[in-house]
């Protein structure tokens, strides 16, 4: 008897009881265990991966002379002032810092990707093959239509070009979303299949392969 597999199978079935009743005691028990485990694991993970090495690690730590780390440590500790009503406002400063850093990070790291997308949109509309030419025309027109769909300062019925472009863009988006929908549903079936294989094969030995 593999107790690990047994535990996994029981947990799986316990989670599936949600389908029968959204507030049954088995589901609630497994849910609380799961969230508790997640909390415990996270605390252990952050302690061993970030907090303790920051103080005592051989390099990139306070013990190794990286005193500059005191600044983010203090900023992090200031977040906890929100639990002291009289100085709760102090917490807004490190949070503002985090928000500003996040926005700056996005601005700094996104353009390289964006330029690649832009230059990859320069299609050759007269290729050696008929299918290649048709493909590129479809790609260009649907791309331009989709960009037009996301113009927010021009009324969509402002002129026939805009109207037609937005119509084409909407269809292109819907076709793309439909394809993505089917793809993701198929992937979810794969996950379900893997779980059934675990229950019927690994645990009950009713299915092989």
What is the maximal distance between C-alpha atoms in the chain?
73
Q: Which of 125, 155, 153, 119 is nearest to 139 (CA)?
A: 125
Residue number, 123 or 203, with CB nearest to other proteins: 123
CB 166 within 8 A of CB 155: no
Residue 105 interacts with other proteins (CB under 8 A): yes or no: yes
What is the rounded CA–CA span in Å between residue 149 and residue 167?
8
Residue number, 6 or 180, with CB nearest to other proteins: 180
Whether the CA torsion 195, 199, 205, 206 is positive or negative: it is negative
Q: Which residue is listed with tokens 């600044």?
A: 71
Window 35-74: contact mask with other proteins (x via CB under 8 A): x-xxx-xx--------------------------------
189 backbone dihedrals φ, ψ, rounded to 5°: -60, -40
Window 135-164: contact mask with other proteins (x via CB under 8 A): -----x--xx--xx-xxxxxxx--------
Residue 7 interacts with other proteins (CB under 8 A): yes or no: no
Contacts with other proteins by CB under 8 A lie at 18, 22-23, 28, 31, 34-35, 37-39, 41-42, 79, 82, 91-92, 95, 98-99, 101-103, 105-116, 118-119, 121-126, 140, 143-144, 147-148, 150-156, 173-174, 177-178, 180-181, 184, 188
């Amino acid at each position: 008897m593999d107790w690990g597999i047994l535990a996994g199978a029981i947990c799986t079935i316990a989670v599936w009881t949600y389908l029968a009743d959204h507030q049954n005691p088995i589901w609630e028990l497994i849910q609380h265990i799961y969230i508790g485990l997640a909390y415990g694991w996270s605390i252990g993970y952050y302690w061993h991966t970030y907090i303790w090495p920051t103080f005592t690690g051989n390099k990139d730590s306070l013990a190794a002379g990286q005193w500059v780390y005191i600044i983010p440590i203090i900023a992090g500790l200031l977040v906890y002032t929100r639990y002291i009503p009289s100085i709760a406002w102090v917490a807004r400063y490190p949070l503002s810092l985090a928000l500003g850093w996040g926005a700056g990070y996005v601005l700094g790291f996104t353009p390289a990707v964006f330029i690649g997308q832009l230059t990859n949109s320069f299609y050759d509309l007269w290729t050696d093959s008929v299918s290649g030419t048709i493909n590129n025309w479809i790609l260009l027109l649907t791309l331009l239509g989709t960009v037009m769909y996301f113009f927010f300062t021009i009324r969509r019925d402002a002129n026939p070009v805009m109207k037609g472009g937005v119509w084409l863009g909407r269809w292109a988006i819907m076709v793309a979303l439909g394809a993505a929908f089917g793809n993701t549903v198929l992937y979810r079936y794969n996950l379900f299949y893997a779980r059934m294989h675990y229950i019927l094969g690994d645990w009950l030995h009713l299915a092989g392969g």
